[in-house]
Structures are given as structure tokens and as C-alpha cells.
Amino acid sequence: MDALEQVVNRLFIAGVSGEVWLDGSFVTKKPDPIDIDFILIADSVQYDQDADIRKLVDLLIEPEDWPPSVADTSVVFRDPPESQSNFSEVLDWWERRFGSKPDKGLPKGVVIVRLGEADE
């Protein structure tokens, strides 16, 4: 939980708009999960226009010393409506991946943490 709080707090303080989707054993009843699986759905315009946000989000794409090694991260960029070619397909893929148990395909919930001015 400390690692997740660290990541979300840094994103929030930097002003990142988007959503963090959580998955894996961290969001189950499994005691002592090994890691936290999550994706950041980030605003591509904000990423392109803000060097500090870009640097922080890049650490989620190509981690160095951050985020904590217990976090398994990916980033999906939400483009402006006129540029969204396959965004819904990408989001559907992640929803299927996070929204079902891999061994049995049974449905499960996805925990979403909203940051900044994220749109629905």
C-alpha cells in the first residue's frame, strides 16, 4: 500500500490528469501480495505540453529508481477526441485483462483511482 500511495501522490502533486486502474493480487483477499499491477490512463496533450509530467510518466514506462520495484506499471494515453483512432479498443483490451480472472475467465471488478480533471 505504501508503494501505491507513493505513486499516486507523486502523480497527484505533479497535476497529472487521468486514472489509475489497479489489478492483480493487490486488489484481492490474498494476504501479502507480491506486487501492484496498474495502468495509468494519461492525457496525451498534458503529457506533450508539460515537461515535468512527461518526465514522471516516462518513469512509469521505463522505470529506473521509481516507481517502487513492487509496482508493475503501464501507461495508456488518451488523445483528444479528434485524434482518438483506436483508444476505445486499447481500453477494452485492458478492461478485459483487468476485468477477469486469468485462470478461469471469471469476471471481477477493476479498481479505479481518478486523478485531476480526468473525463469519464
Contacts of 56 (CB under 8 A, 6+ apart): 10, 11, 14, 16
Q: What is the pLDDT along the chain (120 residues), one digit of tens a residue?
A: 777 888 889 899 999 999 999 887 777 777 777 777 888 999 999 999 999 999 999 888 876 666 666 667 788 888 877 666 777 888 888 887 777 776 666 667 788 889 986 444
Residue 108 forms part of a structural domain: yes
Question: Bridge-partner residues for 49, per DSSP?
Answer: none
Instruction: Find the CATH number of the domain harbouring 23.
Output: 3.30.460
Range of the domain at 15: 2-115
Report pTM.
0.78
Calpha distance 43→15 (Å, rounded): 11
Residue 46 forms part of a structural domain: yes
